[in-house]
Structure 1
């Protein structure tokens, strides 16, 4: 079972000047993190151009990262999308490639309801047996996964953890009583 212990780093997707993915540079980044003792990497998350690479490149990034790492590091695959069908396909692809977990950003742009979010994550969890991290970053997606929805998802044992950027750390208090599980928080500090 995947464990959240140690440093887990969101990788950039290195690009050539013409916009193609630099596979050699990606391999070098993965090797550097392995050699440095990083415990896990997030491939094709929001830091890794998930919204700008096409679906074929997205799947290739997951597959190649897993093949190159050869079990030497945990791979969390960014599989979120604004379409449930695409997010499901990417999560299935991540599972098939051998990823340790999936990171699913809330569907962006479409502004789904909380019921819609519940159905989105339920469908993916029911179809793919892979640990899921839900990624809530409303400042970028225009979609906020509310504490009540997180609570409902946790009751159904749908999610492993929640990665959340907090513009307001006071929201931590809203989540504490809503579910019993480990929580992975990323608090962005601008200096």
Structure 2
């Protein structure tokens, strides 16, 4: 489903605003270099610094610039379940191939909280969902047992970006 090399792309800014032309140019350069997919608005794409409208616009620009020449896995995670669901639905509408869901940050949910959060997002979309475990940034580690429960309960949770360092 998702194989090869994927670039976690930066979100370029000019005068405090997303530089849409530069972003499209970056996508084109990645495709010319032979990348298999692009991951916009993840940690590298500065998603926590973008407002909702900017976040969605970055996804739209990347999908539009990619023109189906590579896959797009849109970062739609949030510490708010409702926000994550909203961004996920908008990523689907924009044409993303999958979404990347980071552990909810700041509020440090329990394992049951992680299960409920990720399950709610997965149930709100038909898109493939890839979990993103980065406890150093989020303050919580998604345990292997929780991941197993999530995969069993949600057939569209198809993978995990594991960045715990252990």
TM-score by length of 2: 0.96
Matched, 1:8 2:9: no
Cα distance per residue 1:4-45 (max 9 Å; x no partner) = 2221110000111x2111111111110011111101000101
Deviation of residue 158 (structure 1)? 4.5
Cα distance per residue 1:47-74 (max 9 Å; x no partner) = 0011101110000001111112211111
Q: Choose the corresponding residue for 2:107, options 83, 106, 110.
A: 110
| Cα contact 1:122–1:158 (8 A) shared by 2 | no
Q: Choose the corresponding residue for 1:123, options 120, 140, 143.
A: 120
Aligned to 1:147: 144
Q: Choose the corresponding residue for 2:92, options 95, 106, 123.
A: 95
Aligned to 2:158: 160
Q: Specify the structure having the higher radius of gyration (Cα).
A: 1
Unmatched 5+ stretches in structure 2: none
Aligned to 1:136: 133
CA–CA distance in 2 between the matches of 1:100 and 1:88? 16
Unmatched 5+ stretches in structure 1: 169-191
Aligned to 2:36: 39
Evaluate the alpha carbon distance shift between residue 166 and residue 143 of structure 1 in structure 2; reply closer, same or farther with a 3 A threshold. closer
User: Residue 17 of structure 2 aligns to a residue in which SS?
Assistant: coil
Runs of 4+ in 1 over 3 A off after TM superposition: none
CA–CA distance in 2 between the matches of 1:74 and 1:154? 22
TM-score by length of 1: 0.84
Name the structure, 1 or 2, with higher relative contact order (CA <8 Å, separation 6+): 2
